[in-house]
Amino acid sequence: MLANIQAHILPNVGFVLWDNSTVPTDLSPDALAFVFADEGVVAALVRRLSFHTFLNLWVTARIDLRNGSLFDLAARRPKERGKALVKKLDKGLVLATAAKFLFVPRGGLAAIRGDKARADASEAANKANVHYHYDLSNAFYELFLDPEMVYTCAYFRDWNNDLATAQRDKLDMICRKLRLRPGESFLDISCGWGALVCHAAQYYGVRAHGVTLSEEQFAYAREKVARLGLEDKVTLELRDYAFVQGSFDKIASIGMSASPIKPAISRRSIAC
């Protein structure tokens, strides 16, 4: 099937498969080529051929481009229309080959990491996944994050601003979007190293509560709260947000992939 596609739709692009075989078989080492990390890549594309599927495979490094970029790929796209190219494919060969992958596991992020990450949304799985990603050490993240240790994208109000300024502006923008007022209760789901809860308490006078599953983040945030003298305004909890009890005036969840488990908290305002 890949040979069929390579010959008619992507004549200037090859494929490198998970067993190091290539399509075409005489593919040059310096040729522009798709690299498939495992046979589940083909299974995923066969079952749901879409840009979303391709993007998921791309960002998890299960599909990669060798000896070039997406711009190089775009420059080599065929001049013919898509329907004309599809007509050239051997439909029987494509269907016969695709059928072989119908029952092959599609894999995913958990398959890449092996047993270090789990794909379900249980409390234990969430804890394991967070531990795998964030508990590498705070010193490691300090190497490339801003002084407030904000892990999500910054907000540059001016092209000349540095990262520290852009991250402070982002924290302030979130607080303004939530219209935080002194005395309100505020929950930050997946609070990270405590940047937002501290900023909200310090400059907007709220009673902030942060939740994280990372032991390293929890320790860092507690030290920061004490260092800033915010113990009477900021509380922190080491637990899955889905099991937080209480009622809050405002809630933020910045850049977190949420568990499908429904949290036992009431929500009036959410910033995502």
Q: Which structural domains are found in the chain, ordered by start?
A: 2-99 (no CATH), 132-271 (3.40.50.150)
Strands (E), 2-137: 14-16, 22-23, 33-36, 63-66
Phi-psi sector, 107: left (phi>0), alpha (psi -120 to 50), beta: left
Q: What is residue 107's predicted lDDT score, i.e. its pLDDT?
A: 67
**Nearest one of 87, 23, 206 to 197, comparing CA atoms:** 206
pLDDT tens for the 272 residues of the chain, in order? 555 554 445 567 888 888 888 888 888 888 888 898 888 888 888 888 788 888 888 888 888 989 988 788 788 776 655 555 556 555 565 566 666 666 666 665 444 444 444 445 577 878 888 888 888 899 999 999 999 999 999 999 999 999 999 999 999 999 999 999 999 999 999 999 999 999 999 999 999 999 999 999 999 999 999 999 999 999 999 999 888 989 999 999 998 754 444 445 544 444 54
**Nearest one of 79, 9, 6, 8 to 36, comparing CA atoms:** 6
Give CA–CA dist 132/135, Å, rounded.
6
Q: What is residue 259's predicted lDDT score, i.e. its pLDDT?
A: 46
Q: Which residue has the tokens 């495992």?
A: 38
Q: What is residue 15's predicted lDDT score, i.e. its pLDDT?
A: 86
Q: What is residue 268's predicted lDDT score, i.e. its pLDDT?
A: 47
Q: What is residue 18's predicted lDDT score, i.e. its pLDDT?
A: 86
CB 102 within 8 A of CB 45: no
